[in-house]
Structure 1
Amino acid sequence: MSNPPFGFGPPDPGDSGGNDRDSDKSSGSGGQQPPGGPEAFNQLGQMLSQLGQMLSQAGSSTGPVNYDLAKQIAEQRLAGTRGSSLGFSSQEKSGESAVRDAAHLAELWLDAATILPAGANNTVAWTARDWVSKTLPTWQRLCDPVAKQVSGAWVQALPEEAKQAAGPLLSMVGQMGGMAFGSQLGNALAELASEVLTSSEVGLPLGPDNTSALLPANIEKFTEGLERPSSEVLVFIAAREAAHQRLFAHVPWLRQRLLATVEEFASGISVDTSALEQLAGQVDPTNPASIEEAMSSGLLEPKTTPEQQVALTRLETLLALVEGWVDVVVAEAVGDRLPGADALRETLRRRRATGGPAEQTFATLVGLELRPRRMRAASALWKLVGDRHGAEVRDGIWTHPDLLPTAEDLDDPMEFADRLGDGPESVETFDPMAELERTERAEQQSGESGPQESGGSSEDSNSDEDDKGDAKG
C-alpha cells in the first residue's frame, strides 16, 4: 500500500486553519508578534472560540469516527460549489430534467444489451453536498472497522500509569481520535464529491437502493475539453449508472458481498504496538495537538497481512468484474447511437488508470488501492463470453457467486469461456462446487505469495503501465 488508510495520514494540506494568517502577520515583522494590544486579544478570542467549537464537536462523537464533524467539514469545503444547467437537445433545461431524459434513453438502449431489467425506480440529480449526505451511511459502515482497530490499539498501548493518571481524560483521548478521523474523512469525502460523476463510480453501491444518481455539475466540468456535446456525455454517463443499478438490484448477493469484503479487509488492519508504545510516551491526554501529531506521524502505518491480501484480491477481482461487465454492456447498448462513445469509453478507462478519485479515496479511507488493469482484463473476458455464448449466458453467470470468474480466469479468459460450453443451458450445468474449489485454491495461492506477488502476472503489470502512459499522452 502506497497510501495509508485514514487516521494514519498527515492532515489535509488545504486545512491550514489560522496558520496561514499567522504566518502572513509575522512576515512583516521578522516573525515577532507584539506582546499585547487589541490584536493579541483578538487572537486569544479566536483561539478560545475554536477550542470551544472543537470540544463541542468532540462531545457529539459516540463512536471511533466523529461523522458529524466529517459531514460538517465536507459541507463547508463544498459550500458555494456551482450548480449546473446542462443542455439537452436544443433546449436548455434544468440539470434534474436533463438527467431524467438521459436516464430514460439509456434504459431503453440497455434493454437490448442485457437480460437484466432496469434496476432503478428513481433517477435523481445530486449536488456534491447531496452525494456526501446520501452516501455517508455506507462510508460509516466501511470506515468503522479501521477506526476501531486503530483507536483500540492506541488506548491499549498506553502504559498503565498513563491510563490511571489520565482518569476521566482517557475518554477524551478517544474523542480526539474520533475528531482526527472525522476531519480526515470529511476532507476526503469533499474531494471525492467534487469529482465523482455518479453514485456508483467508485464501484460500490454507496447510495440508496434502486436509485440512479448523477451529479450534473461534475459531469459538466468533466465534459469541458472533451469536444463532445454535453447531451452525448450525459447519456453515456447515465447508461453506466443505469447498468450498475441493474447489477446491484438484480444480483441479490452482490451488494452485501462487496461491502462485506471491504469490511473484512478493513477489520484486519494491524498496528505495530511497539511504535504505539513509543508514541504513547509523547502524548499529553490534555493536549489535542499532541494526539493529532502522533496519529499523523507516519509511524503507525499498518502492514497488509496474508489474510488481508486474500480479501483484497477477492475484492479487486469482484470490482473488476462489475466494472468490466458495465463497460461491455454499455458499449453494446450505445453502439453507433453516440458518435463519441468509443472516445468516451477510453476516456473513462484512462481516468481510472491514472488513479482517479475512486482509487485515491479507497487508499485514503480504508487502505485499498484499485488496480485498473484488472478492469480491462474483465472487460475482455465478458466481451469474449458474450461473443461466444450470447448475453443470456454472460449475464446468467451472475446468478451465483461461485459461477463468477476468478483472478486466474482474468489471466486466461479463453479457458474460462471453454469451460462454459455452448448455449444458455451451459450456466445451469456449470459445476459450482468445482468453481468453488478453484476459487479456494486461487485464494490460498494468493495468500501464500504475499502482497508483492499477488498483483497478477508481469504481463498485467506492463499493461497497467501502458494504460498510464497512454493516459498521460
Structure 2
Amino acid sequence: MSEFTFGFSAPDPDDRDKNKDPNSGEPGKGGGAENPFDAFGQLGQMLSQLGQMLSQAGTSTGPVNYDLAKQIAVQKLSGQMGFVAPSDSGKAVADAVHLAEMWLDPVTTLPAGATVTRAWTPRDWVEHTLPTWQRLCDPVARRMSGAWVEALPAEAKQQAGPLLAMVGQMGGMAFGSQLGNALAQLAAEVLTSTDIGLPLGPAATAALVPANIEEFTKGLERPASEVIVFLAAREAAHQRLFAHVPWLRQRLLATVEEFASGIKVDTAALEQLASQVDPSNPETIERAMQSGMLEPETTPEQKAALTRLETLLALVEGWVDIVVGEAVSERLPGADALRETLRRRRASGGPAEQTFATLVGLELRPRRLRAAASLWRLLTDQHGIETRDGLWAHPDLMPTAADLDDPLDFAERLGANPDLDDDPIAQLKRTEQSPESKDAEGENGD
C-alpha cells in the first residue's frame, strides 16, 4: 500500500521544474506574467501542484467523496472485534423488540412503528445510515466547497479555469476522508439506529448493534438480556415517533440543512491555510483541512436553527425517556440505572455528539434532555397520555425552548384550554378556520 493516503501519490520531481522560467530561475514567473493567486501567497502553487495528485485519485460526484468515506470506515472497522454479528443475534434482537413493543403499547397512543427488526454489525450500520449522512453532510460540504471559490479574487476566478473543478474534487476527498474516519468511530460505539436521536436508518426498521451492546454491557453489572430489552424499547419508541409523526423526520433533517445553508467562512483563513501547506506533502494538506482553520462563522440565522434543532431533539429524547421508563421500570430491575447511564452517556459529550459536530458543524446539547423529560412527565401526570401524545400531531403544538425553561407555565396553558386538552389537532384546525385567521390570511395576501 502506498504511504500516501486517500489516493494521493508522490509528484514527479521533474514536473516541479516545468513551470520554471528559464530566464528568471524562479518557478511560476514566466515572462513576468502576473500570478492571479499572489494575494493568497502559496495557494496558487498548492493548487497547481495538487492537480496531478488529484487526477490520480479518481473523480467523485457531489461535494463529498462517499465512496472514499465508506472505504475508509470499512477498512478501520475490519480490524475490530465484532465486525461479524453472532449467528443467533438476529433472533435475540427480534425477540427483544417484540417484548418491548408489548410493554410500550399501554403507555403511549402511538402504535408500533417498526415493521422490520435487524441485528447490524458496525459495517451494516455504516452502509445503512450512509444515505442519511449524505443528506446531512452535502449542504455543509457544498457550502464549504463554495466558500473556497467565493474567497478567490475576481481575476483569479477568471484565470483559474479548470483549477476550480480541482478545488471541488480536493474538498470532496478531504470531507470524504473526515467522514469515513468519523463514521468508523461512531459505528464502533453506537447501540441502535437512533442512538443520536436522528432517524439515520431505513424507515420502519428497528436495528440494534449486538457487538457494541455486548461491549457496552461489560461495565454495567446487569444481565445482557436485560440491557438488550431496554435498548430495544428505546429503539422501538423512537420508531413509533418517526413512523407516526409525519412531519418529524423531515423537520429534523431540514433544520440541519437550514443550519448548513447559512455557513460563512472567514476568507482570511485561506491565506493562513496556504502558509501551512507543503504542496509536495499531501499529509500537510490533510492536517490543514482538519485543523479547524476553516471552521464556519456562526450567524444569527444559524443560531436560531440550532436552537430549534436542539429543542426538537430534546423533546424526542425526553419523550422516549419517559415512555420507556413507564414501560420497563416495573419489569426490569436495572431500568432506572440504565436510564441514568444513557443520560450521562449523552450529556458527557461522547462520540455521538463529537462526531455529529465534526461532520455537520453542529454541537448538540443533551443537557436539554432532562428539561424535556421533566416537561413530558409533568404533562403525563396532569393531562394524561392522550393529550401528551396528541401534541405530536402538529409542530405548532409542540413545546418551545422557552417552554423547556418553564414547563409549569406550558402545562397550565394546556390545561386552561379544554378543547386543546381533549383534542389538540382539532383545536388547531378550528383556529386555522376561524374568521380571524381567514381575515389575517386575506391581509397577508393583499
Superposition TM-score tier, normalisation by shorter sequence: 0.7 to 0.9
Pick from 127, 136, 146: which aligns with 2:140?
146
Which residue of the partner structure matches residue 425 of structure 1?
Answer: 422
Return the offset for 1:356: 1.9
* Letter paired with 2:65: N
Q: Quickly say closer, same or farther: Cα 1:407–1:288, change in 2 above 3 A.
A: same
Q: Which range moves more in the overlay, 63-72 or 269-278?
A: 269-278
- Residue 213 of structure 1 aligns to a residue in which SS? strand
CA deviations 1:152-191 (Å, max 9, x no partner) are: 1112323456556654344222212111110000000000
Which residue of the partner structure matches residue 81 of structure 1?
Answer: 80
8 A Cα contact 1:271 1:301, kept in partner: yes
Q: Which range moves more in the overlay, 163-172 or 65-74?
A: 163-172
CA deviations 1:413-444 (Å, max 9, x no partner) are: 11111111268515256558999xxxxxxxxx
Return the offset for 1:17: 5.8
8 A Cα contact 1:176 1:291, kept in partner: no
Which residue of the partner structure matches residue 240 of structure 1?
Answer: 234
Which residue of the partner structure matches residue 374 of structure 1?
Answer: 368
* Letter paired with 2:389: D
8 A Cα contact 2:83 2:122, kept in partner: no
Give yes or no for the alignment of 1:187 onto 2:187.
no
Equivalent-residue separation in structure 1 for 2:429 and 2:278 (angstroms): 56
* Letter paired with 1:269: I
Q: Quickly say closer, same or farther: Cα 1:85–1:279, change in 2 above 3 A.
A: closer
Pick from 250, 253, 258: which aligns with 1:264?
258
Return the offset for 1:376: 0.4
**Residues 22-421 of structure 1 mapped to structure 2, 5 A cutoff:** 55=54, 58-83=57-82, 94-159=88-153, 162-163=156-157, 166-277=160-271, 279=273, 288=282, 291-421=285-415
- Residue 272 of structure 1 aligns to a residue in which SS? coil
Q: Quickly say closer, same or farther: Cα 1:379–1:325, change in 2 above 3 A.
A: same
Q: Quickly say closer, same or farther: Cα 1:242–1:320, change in 2 above 3 A.
A: same
Q: Report the aligned-residue RMSD.
A: 2.9
- Residue 107 of structure 2 aligns to a residue in which SS? coil
Return the offset for 1:373: 1.6
8 A Cα contact 1:402 1:432, kept in partner: no
Return the offset for 1:56: 7.3
Equivalent-residue separation in structure 2 for 1:56 and 1:132 (angstroms): 27
Q: Quickly say closer, same or farther: Cα 1:221–1:289, change in 2 above 3 A.
A: closer
* Letter paired with 2:299: T
Unpaired segments ≥5 residues, structure 1: 1-15, 20-50, 87-91, 436-473
CA deviations 1:108-148 (Å, max 9, x no partner) are: 00001101000000000000000001001111111111111
Equivalent-residue separation in structure 2 for 1:77 and 1:85 (angstroms): 14
Equivalent-residue separation in structure 2 for 1:163 and 1:281 (angstroms): 20
- Residue 117 of structure 2 aligns to a residue in which SS? strand
Equivalent-residue separation in structure 2 for 1:283 and 1:335 (angstroms): 56
Q: Quickly say closer, same or farther: Cα 1:323–1:17, change in 2 above 3 A.
A: farther
Equivalent-residue separation in structure 2 for 1:284 and 1:239 (angstroms): 52
Q: Quickly say closer, same or farther: Cα 1:68–1:85, change in 2 above 3 A.
A: closer
* TM-score for the superposition, normalised by structure 2: 0.79
Q: Quickly say closer, same or farther: Cα 1:118–1:302, change in 2 above 3 A.
A: same
Equivalent-residue separation in structure 1 for 2:267 and 2:88 (angstroms): 55
Which residue of the partner structure matches residue 45 of structure 2?
Answer: none
Q: Which range moves more in the overlay, 365-374 or 403-412?
A: 365-374
Q: Quickly say closer, same or farther: Cα 1:318–1:95, change in 2 above 3 A.
A: same
Q: Quickly say closer, same or farther: Cα 1:138–1:93, change in 2 above 3 A.
A: closer
Give the greater-gyration-radius structure (CA).
2
Return the offset for 1:267: 1.5
Equivalent-residue separation in structure 1 for 2:238 and 2:402 (angstroms): 24
Equivalent-residue separation in structure 2 for 1:282 and 1:361 (angstroms): 25
Which residue of the partner structure matches residue 11 of structure 2?
Answer: none
Equivalent-residue separation in structure 2 for 1:198 and 1:230 (angstroms): 15
Q: Quickly say closer, same or farther: Cα 1:171–1:333, change in 2 above 3 A.
A: same
- Residue 367 of structure 2 aligns to a residue in which SS? helix
Equivalent-residue separation in structure 2 for 1:222 and 1:433 (angstroms): 49
Which residue of the partner structure matches residue 28 of structure 2?
Answer: none
Equivalent-residue separation in structure 1 for 2:136 and 2:406 (angstroms): 32
Return the offset for 1:343: 0.4
8 A Cα contact 1:398 1:404, kept in partner: yes
Equivalent-residue separation in structure 2 for 1:202 and 1:110 (angstroms): 21
Return the offset for 1:283: 6.6
Q: Quickly say closer, same or farther: Cα 1:134–1:193, change in 2 above 3 A.
A: same
Return the offset for 1:282: 7.3
Return the offset for 1:94: 1.1
Equivalent-residue separation in structure 2 for 1:373 and 1:279 (angstroms): 35
Equivalent-residue separation in structure 1 for 2:192 and 2:55 (angstroms): 34
Return the offset for 1:280: 5.4
Number of aligned residues:
384
Identify which of structures 1 and 2 has the higher relative contact order when contacts are C-alpha pairs closer than 8 Å and 6+ apart: 1
Equivalent-residue separation in structure 2 for 1:113 and 1:354 (angstroms): 29
* Letter paired with 1:71: K
CA deviations 1:66-124 (Å, max 9, x no partner) are: 110000000000003333999xxxxx971111101100000000001101000000000
* Letter paired with 2:97: A
